[in-house]
Amino acid sequence: MQSIPDLKNNISFEDFKTEVLNDYKTAVRSRECSLLGRREVLTGKAKFGIFGDGKEVPQLAMAKAFQKGDWRSGYYRDQTFMMAIGELTPEQFFAGLYANTNIQEEPMSAGRQMGGHFVTHSLNNDGTWKNLTKQYNSSADISPTAGQMPRLLGLAQASKIFRNVEGINTSNFSVDGNEVAWGTIGNASTSEGLFFETINAAGVLQVPMVISVWDDEYGISVHAKHQTTKENISEILKGFQRDETNKGYEILRVKGWDYANLIETYQEASAIAREEHVPVLIHVTELTQPQGHSTSGSHERYKSPERLNWETQHDCNTRMRQWIIDSGIATNEDLTEIDRVIKREVKEAKRKAWTTFLKPISDEQRELVTVLKQLAETSVNGVFINKLKDSLEAIDEPTRKDILSHGRRALRYTLGETSAKKDQLIQWIDKCLEDNQPRFSSHLYSETEHSNVLIKEVKPSYDEKAPQVDGRIILRDNFDAIFSKHPEALIFGEDTGNIGDVNQGLEGLQEKYGELRIADAGIREATIVGQGIGMALRGLKPIAEIQYLDYLMYALQIISDDLATVHYRTKGKQKAPLIVRTRGHRLEGIWHSGSQMGGILNLVKGVNVLVPRNMTKAAGFYNTLLQGDDPAIVVECLNGYRLKEKMPNNLGYLKTPIGVVETLKEGSDITLISYGSTLRIVEQVANELLAVGIDAEVIDVQSLMPFDLNHDIVESIKKTNRVMIIDEDVPGGASAYILNEIINKQNAYQYLDSQPRTITAKEHRPAYGNDGDYFSKPSAEDIFEAVYAVMHETNPEEFPKLR
């Protein structure tokens, strides 16, 4: 990144000229990457392309205001910005286009995301933090439109926390909270609710955030008149403009082709946000999109000839070029030579990126060709194997799919044969899978010593005369210990602060630790989670409280698309160990039924889903999670806050292990599996079953994701030979997930003497009231009769039919 040119004060003309020409080179370099990138997609070398052409000049201005320690949460067109801060080379640009899986060659995502999605590395190889104050930082982009906005809020809020909360070790994370979070978004995407929710929240919180709206008047093919009231986002947001008596935003407007005014505008925005901690919105208008939205279509289909002509005349690179000539900084000939040199440079970078990408794949191709050739010489089906070998050898630019597919198909021709060459092919296939699968599947969870599942259990301990207290007291006192030990820990949500949450699990803690650490938030679940993601990315230990499990639906897209994939989509180079606290189970009424676990499980792979049966277990989970690297959702039992539990004497230190089940009652006839509030009903029924001669084993799942890492459940089934899963989700929900884990992953089917059973809620959401609960969700009688029916089927003489 070049130094910032001071357009107002003393600067030599030569220095100014050098700075401007360097910027011009960056703009031309980025544009040429876009042009060649589109060609690579259309010729088949790349799968898809979405580029930053037409947005180059404002991104140069943004880069000049961006300082080390700052963070970006952006739009998938910010390639010029990344080049300007020195975090993206043309070769890396093309490596991303080709989906190179080498993180050194393609540092943005190791081929896991399409081009245009950018990131910087926050972590060392061992998972420890780099010094983020000494580098430019970009959070990992996501494609869902406006999905970058909630995280942006948290990145900005972290600076406020660092500036105002005492005791935090900020050495790797902040310098007096002076860092600005920079967001970018297309004008059409401002139609999304996530944009408005974030804008409102940032105005309330007053955080150092600068959001740039790149306005080219279109959202793919849809004009702004169909997107935005008055066709002008800054116009309809002007009520957010701060004034002498009201806090709010500073709203700035600037033409996207006006190089000098863009630099001045971004410097102004940076100063306001950095010094005053006031959010700023910059509406960058009159931008263009020379190649249309993406390689999936052409903008000539939906733009008029007049609009296309206007875009040609107002192209920001063209206008900057003319401004340079008019200002006497360079001649047309000078700039033409720069253009020529850069075209050659980018073309060479493209060639190198392709060669580097293709070489290891070609090496695998040659290895397999040799193996197949040798196999063909010994197999009775050698002629067919040779055809596959020739087919593979003829592919000039193979994919790994091409190669492995040929090898596995060749193996079919050796059915019934035994030879060293066949063994060689099998070994090659196994090694190929072993080497290549991690390129696409690793780092869903932490793979370092900081993984949540490696945190050792610390059981609760008790004084001899430990009192029985409400469960909420255990939670409250454990949170007190957490906030006392961890100054970087904070919690926020609806009713979390002043009243100490709706169930008093945080009673009195805001008064003790302050409004920034124990904070109330508006009714805006998506940005509550976004706050947590952003602050976790910056090294804080946030707990985002979603009041009830049902309300998680408002934030599920952000959890699924952003939080759950941070570690995966950066191949372990960023982490966001956010804890999402919520409560549910055994609730009544359609809108507060609280147990949509199957839907959650299927959408949040990459996040731990924990279902403690009581508040001591929940407290232990929070203590465990604060030491680990993986994000998690903790679902407390809503009907457990007033139930009595024995008071541990090691609050703040006890730890519940993650991925470990617990056997609550041993038995020999059937294994009953459940979790959360329903588990208490199962325990009751297990005792009632003893009266009719059925000895059930009861297991608490505790952790749905990850699930029973020690395979203790299959050991139970080996003993009982029967299994029943009971929960209050809908049929095919969490119970089906648990059954799949047991049958297909633990291979428990081989030990079963009876059909595995599930007892779930009805397909509809629960009706209101006690009777609604009884007829909508599994009752004690439902469970008793279902277990008895299994035993009747097994031994009808000992267990005659009940009904």
Residues noted as catalytic:
592
Residue tagged 């169909």 (tokens): 226
Q: Is 732 left (phi over 0), alpha (psi -120 to 50) or beta?
A: left
Which string of DSSP letters, residue by residue, matches 431-466? Answer: HHHHHHHHHHHTTSS--STT-GGGSPPB-----TTP
CB 106, CB 216: distance < 8 Å: no
* Rounded distance between C-alpha atoms, residue 713 and residue 238, angstroms: 60
Q: Is 569 exposed, middle or buried (0-12, 13-18, 19+ CB in 10 A)?
A: buried
Instruction: In whole angstroms, give the CA distance from residue 103 to residue 550.
Output: 38
Vertex 289: Cα angle to 284 and 295 (nearest 5): 140
The whole-angstrom separation of Cα 531 and Cα 559 is 12
The answer to whether 205 and 163 are in contact (CB under 8 A) is no
Please give the DSSP secondary-structure letter assigned to residue 744: I
SS3 sequence, 628-681?
Answer: CCCCEEEEEEHHHCCCEEECCCCCCCCECCCCCCEEEECCCCEEEEECCCHHHH
Alpha-carbon 596 to chain mean position: 20
State the angle between helix axes of 552-561 and 525-537 in degrees (0 to 180), rounded to the nearest 10: 40
Compute φ and ψ for 579, nearest 5 degrees: -105, 125
Question: What is the rounded CA–CA span in Å between residue 253 and residue 255?
Answer: 7
Sheet holding 137-138, edge to edge: 137-138, 71-73, 181-186, 209-214, 280-285, 250-255
Burial degree of 662 (CB within 10 A; 0-12, 13-18, 19+): middle
Q: Are 492 and 542 in contact (CB under 8 A)?
A: yes
CA–CA dist 146, 227 (Å, integer): 14
Cβ atoms 48, 114 nearer than 8 A: yes
Q: Which helix (DSSP H) or strand (DSSP E) does residue 186 occupy?
A: strand 181-186
Q: Residue type at 411?
A: L
Task: Give the tokens for residue 630.
Answer: 């993986």
Q: What is the DSSP string of 188-241?
A: GGGGSHHHHHHHHHHHHHT--EEEEEE--SEETTEEGGGTSGGG-HHHHTGGGB
Task: Tell me the two tokens of residue 677.
Answer: 């509030």
* Burial degree of 13 (CB within 10 A; 0-12, 13-18, 19+): exposed
Rounded to the nearest 5 degrees, what angle is found at the Cα of 226, between the Cα atoms of 51 and 292? Answer: 20
> Which has the closest alpha carbon to 686: 712, 719, 664, 716?
664
| Burial state string for 211-242 with b = 16 or more CB within 10 A and e = fewer than 16 | bbbbbbbbbeeeebeebbeeebbbeebeebeb
Name the phi and psi angles at 134, rounded to 5.
-100, 10
d(CA 369, CA 367): 6
Tokens of 287: 């931008």
